[in-house]
Amino acid sequence: MNNRMILAAVAAALVAAAAPAAQAKDWTHVKVGIEGAFPPWNALDPQGNLTGLDVDLIKDLCTRAKVECDLQAGEWSAMIPSLNAGKFDLIMTLGINEKRKQVVDFTVPYASGVASFIVEKDGPLAKMPMTGEKLDLNDKEKADPVMKSIGEMLSGKAVGVVQSTSHEQLITAYFGKDVTLRTYKNSGERDLDLKAGRIDAGFDSGVYGATLPSKPGNEDLTIVGPQLKGAMLATEVAIGMRKGETELKEKLDAAIKSAAADGVIKTLSVKWSKLDLTPTF
């Protein structure tokens, strides 16, 4: 190898070594994926604009983090693939569970919620045990008998969930083949089948369920059974991001903790859900 070839090889190696630094992101602008079909967390208004708790909060968080945020609506089941493909940099309303931790990173939680069953208020499932009471599924001594009782009530019935959610995972794990599991692209589509009698119950975010009866046409729906946390449920709600983007995570973690300390998360969550969803750090 002559000197010119050696110098060219060294130069190529130096360029390759410097490439990661040249490609490092300064995180002044991020694309945020929001479903737009999960009120009160997020929805589209009549003009097609994103609205809801997620929208108000991410705008505040982006200001605190000194990051310009471009909010984009997208189908829920495509959110994580779109994130990892680079279409989004962040995903709102992503509940934390072990399965998702394998493919994405999370900020600290920006909301702490529960999961609940949704049924017709005069239907056969309206008398589920522990309605309105919190139940941690990780407290198996207390939770297992309750879930067994609920399973007996649900046996032979159809339960609707949004696809690619921890709610789908829970129904499968606890009730298996004893129920007919039907999946939907979003909660609104599921609710239409519930009101039409095509399914017997829905299982969803307790925040979503708590605000559902106040919407026109939903007066006959109600949440029943325990307010569930733990196990595979993703009730600690955070912002999802691609793995390894630690600088962006640090910015947003600090912003979320600041918003919680300032009472902004409480104010916004009460405004949209009537519940204080402020996480505990």
Burial level of 157, CB count in 10 A (0-12/13-18/19+)?
Answer: middle
Predicted pLDDT at 9: 39
Predicted pLDDT at 21: 37
Burial level of 68, CB count in 10 A (0-12/13-18/19+)?
Answer: exposed
Q: Helices (DSSP H) in the chain: which residue ranges?
A: 3-23, 53-65, 79-84, 98-101, 140-154, 166-175, 187-195, 206-211, 246-261, 264-273
Q: Can you name the CATH fold of 9-112+236-273? A: D-Maltodextrin-Binding Protein; domain 2 (3.40.190)
Nearest residue to 117 via CA among 223, 17, 29, 207: 223
Q: How wide is the angle at C-alpha 106 spanned by C-alphas 184 and 72, nearest 5°?
A: 55
Pair of tokens at residue 213: 């009866």
Q: CA-to-CA distance for 79 and 54, rounded, in angstroms?
A: 15
Predicted pLDDT at 26: 77
Average pLDDT, the chain: 91
Q: Which residue positions in the chain have pLDDT lower than 70? A: 1-24
Predicted pLDDT at 4: 39
Nearest residue to 229 via CA among 155, 100, 143, 109: 143
Residue with tokens 């019935």: 157
| Strand partners of residue 44 | 50
Predicted pLDDT at 275: 84
Predicted pLDDT at 203: 98
Q: Where are the domains of the chain?
A: 9-112+236-273, 115-229
Q: CA-to-CA distance for 62 and 43, rounded, in angstroms?
A: 19
Q: pTM of the full predicted structure?
A: 0.73
Measured distance between the N- and C-terminal CA atoms of the chain, rounded to whole angstroms: 60
Whether 9-112+236-273 and 115-229 share one fold: the answer is yes
Predicted pLDDT at 24: 53
For the domain with range 115-229, which CATH number is right: 3.40.190.10, 3.20.20.150, 3.90.1150.10, 3.30.420.40?
Answer: 3.40.190.10
